Amino acid sequence: MVAIAEACRAGRLPGEVAIVLSDADGAGILTRATERGIRAEHIAPGKFRTKLDEAVEQAYIAALQQAQVDLIVLAGFMRILKGNFLRAFPERVVNIHPALLPSFPGLEAWKQALDYGVKVTGCTVHFVDQGIDTGPILAQQTVPVLDDDTPATLLERIQQAERVLYPATIAALLRGEIQVQGRRALRRSMK
């Protein structure tokens, strides 16, 4: 969120962060948003561990609609979004994942990559769909896996790549430089 907010402030991303929502009370993202003068709210996640219940989902939808958002950008939101949420914001929800999808979807993808023994991993920006990390891929950035990597060192390098790739991809989306046709994201040159 900080990288995205700073890219907006610097003019590298043609937009603004209208609101930051978190399902974790006291989350650092809420503090960092407030420090930057961005509206920040906690909405309790409800009774489920991995998804939003219907009432909570509606509260998220209402808050985002009230803020008149054009794009929902997920960062560390570890709940599955489906149904009504995705229908309310069709092809307007993006996520970043710490692996080169379709490899290593789900939780702790950097550990999965390290355990598997790959020599290259990275991060993926994708649209969110009904599956888990299965939406159309918008952009990817590779990160080498070093022989002495630990899960922590690999994750840190992936997160460094994410801080560059995510704002750049969001900016390209907002400028109309990325168009999705089926599962393929095509880059258009804006000359």
Q: Is 97 a catalytic residue?
A: yes
What is the DSSP pairing of strand 40-42 with strand 20-22? parallel
Torsion of CA 108, 114, 118, 123, to 10 degrees: 40
Please pick, among 7, 77, 89, 97, the residue that the annotation labels catalytic: 97
**CB-CB contact of 178 with 138 (8 Å):** yes
How far apart, in Å, are the Cα atoms of 132 and each of 79, 107, 119, 174?
Answer: 10, 10, 24, 24
List the catalytic residues: 97
